[in-house]
Structure 1
Amino acid sequence: MNGPHDLARAAEAFHENGFVVLPSIIPVDAAEHLRVLTEQRYQDPQVHAAPEELDLLRGDVSMMRVFECDPAFREMIDLEPLVTLVEALLGPDCHVIAQNALRIPPGKGIINWHIDDALFFPFLSDTPTVPAVGSIPCFALNVMIALSDIDDVQHGPTQVIPGSHLSGRRPPYSSDLPGAPTSLLARAGDAYLVNSQTWHRGAPNQSDRTRYLLTTAYGRRFISQRFYPFIGYRLPDGVLEGASARVARLLGRHGKGPYG
């Protein structure tokens, strides 16, 4: 990780805006290594030929659970200072709920506006005033690390609507919204955190180069992990080999709790 980051200020900005950008989280050569691994996995014929129940590739752009395929991806799960910020936002017993690598070629994009999964606070849409910053807890968030330069809107950056995590509403599932969104432009190695309730999308990639992004989603302890096929999922042998206690917990090895 390059350079200092003010995590208290980052947490405040995250609560206020529904996202925060942290530049230079990993060196450019580390981002390049992950980009090469992502491309190699995409080019692997076995990934494309795998049966659907293995859930290795979705929509021809998203490679699922990449922590299974190379230790370099697993290392990103407890990357500092990201993981300390995530634990400050979600609690010390939070865990990873997904980790996917995105490969968005020219002409493609996850272009429809959406939130991730459930709408947690629908009552907010009926409140006469905007809730105080930090008064609405975050239950889940996505950490996105740029593996290639996405420094122009033509490259298809993640776009967000600041403050939309406090709206208590879903966006219309459309590629168009009134007003101008904020584009999270990034260089390879930059990272940004996005609240699961923040309206966001991937703008269409209108450039001549592929966009690469590593996304690791975290949730509070009571948010279930989303490793397909869910109840039948088992971590592959070797994934936890040499892992720290923190990584093991982030991948689901929790201690006993109030329900079991």
Structure 2
Amino acid sequence: MIRSLQEHIDEFHKQGYTLMKGALQAQEAESLKEGVLKAMEGPGDGYRDGLRTRMFEKGEQFQRLIMQPGVVDFAEAVLGPKCHMFAMNAHRTARNGGIDNWHVDEELFFPLPEGVEFDPRMQMPTFLITCIYYLVDVTETMGPTQVIPGSHRSGQEPDPNQNPPIYKGQEPVTILAKQGDCLLFTGQLWHRGARNESDEVRIVQQVMYGKRWISQRFYPFVNYQLPQEIVERWKDHPRMSRLLGMHQRGPYG
């Protein structure tokens, strides 16, 4: 059953995540998978093996993924019409690989002391969204993404001494995704990519969106320059040029 955009938004605000099934057609997912594998064959970019950043530099199909129907509409609805893509990473996770420690991404935006809760009458503000496109079917043993529903409202890091962590009785939910599905979640959600215990390779493509004031994370950061061919390709496309960071002038510059 196809769910509406509003249903996904409501679930995201309540649980901290939502899964869009069939966000990519099979042919799209397969083409992107081949593109990711090709990128993995080339030189790394200073991070770890099995990770490539700035995937929008790897061809037009990755650039168009930034505007994927349904997903980009969700991002703009949650983050506002001035949001942009701030990172775009691909992951290839082989046997025994995986970022399997429970964590929130980067930092807590609303840290709360023990015993203090976020007012239930308030909707937790969202500044960043991570979208994970699964380019292969992900089974129980392949290192699926795991999340703790509602934990984005905790204002706390997951307890490293509690494995797995539990938030208000909520235990981990395992995302058994099909090729072409897309998981959208806030980085404040307790999550992890479980260790891949199979001989199959887990391949995902991420697109992260943020509010305009969230700095884009294109290493080497202040010295990064968007390739001119990408600028030329999209300069007359207002939506795409904005998503790439080519904003109109604002109050700070």
Instruction: Please confirm whether the aligned pair reaches a TM-score higher than 0.5, indicating the same fold.
Output: yes
Do the aligned residues in 1 keep the contact of 2:159 with 2:165 (CA within 8 Å)?
A: no
**Divergent runs of 4+, >6 A:** none
Q: 2:163 aligns with which of 148, 164, 176?
A: 176
Structure 2 residue runs of 5 or longer lacking an equivalent are: none
Matched with 1:77 is 66
- What does 1:113-152 align with in structure 2 at a 5 Å threshold? 113-123=102-112, 126-128=115-117, 131-132=120-121, 135-150=123-138, 152=139
Q: Which amino acid aligns with 1:69?
A: K
Alignment check: 8 A CA contact 2:55 2:90 kept: yes
Letter in 1 for 2:252: Y
Q: TM-score, normalised by structure 2?
A: 0.92
Correspondence for 1:194: 185
**Amino acid across the alignment from 1:171:** P
- Partner of residue 89 from structure 1, selected from 58, 78, 85: 78
TM-score (norm 1): 0.89
Distance, in Å, in 1 between the alignment partners of 2:25 and 2:106 is 31
Q: How big is the shift at 1:4?
A: 4.5
Q: Classify the secondary structure of the residue corresponding to 2:8.
A: helix
Question: Which has the higher mean CA deviation after the structures are superposed, 120-129 or 109-118?
Answer: 120-129
What is the match of residue 259 of structure 1? Answer: 252
Where structure 1 has 5 or more consecutive residues not aligned to the other structure, the ranges are: 49-55
The corresponding residue for 2:99 is 110
CA distance in 1, matches of 2:141, 2:162: 15
Structure 2 counterparts to residues 200-215 of structure 1, below 5 A: 200-215=191-206
Superposed displacement of residue 232, structure 1: 1.1
Report the alpha carbon displacement of residue 97 of structure 1 after superposing the two structures with TM. 0.9
Query: Is the contact made by 1:124 and 1:166 (CA closer than 8 Å) also made in structure 2?
Result: no
Deviation of 1:173 after TM superposition, in Å, equals 5.1
Aligned partner (choices 202, 226, 238) of residue 235 of structure 1: 226
The 3-state SS of whatever aligns with 1:131 is coil
The SS at the match of 2:155 is coil
**Alignment-mate amino acid for residue 147 of structure 2:** V
Question: Structure 2: how far apart are the matches of 1:174 and 1:106?
Answer: 26
Secondary structure, counterpart of 2:208 in structure 1: strand
Cα distance between partner residues in 1 of 2:179 and 2:162: 26
Report SS of the residue matched to 2:188.
coil
Q: 2:47 aligns with which of 52, 58, 65?
A: 58
* Count of aligned pairs: 247
Does the aligned pair in 1 maintain the 2:118–2:155 contact within 8 Å? Answer: no
Following TM superposition, by how much is the alpha carbon of 1:242 offset from its aligned partner in structure 2, in angstroms? 2.7
Equivalent residue for 1:32? 30
Aligned partner of residue 193 in structure 1, secondary structure = strand
Indicate which of 141, 153, 160 corresponds to 2:147: 160
Could you tell me how far 1:42 is from its partner in structure 2? 0.8
Q: Which letter maps to 2:218?
A: F
| Inter-CA distance 70–96: structure 2 relative to 1 (3 Å threshold) | same
Note the C-alpha offset of 1:154: 0.3
Q: Return closer, same or farther for 1:247/1:126 CA change in 2, 3 Å cut-off.
A: farther
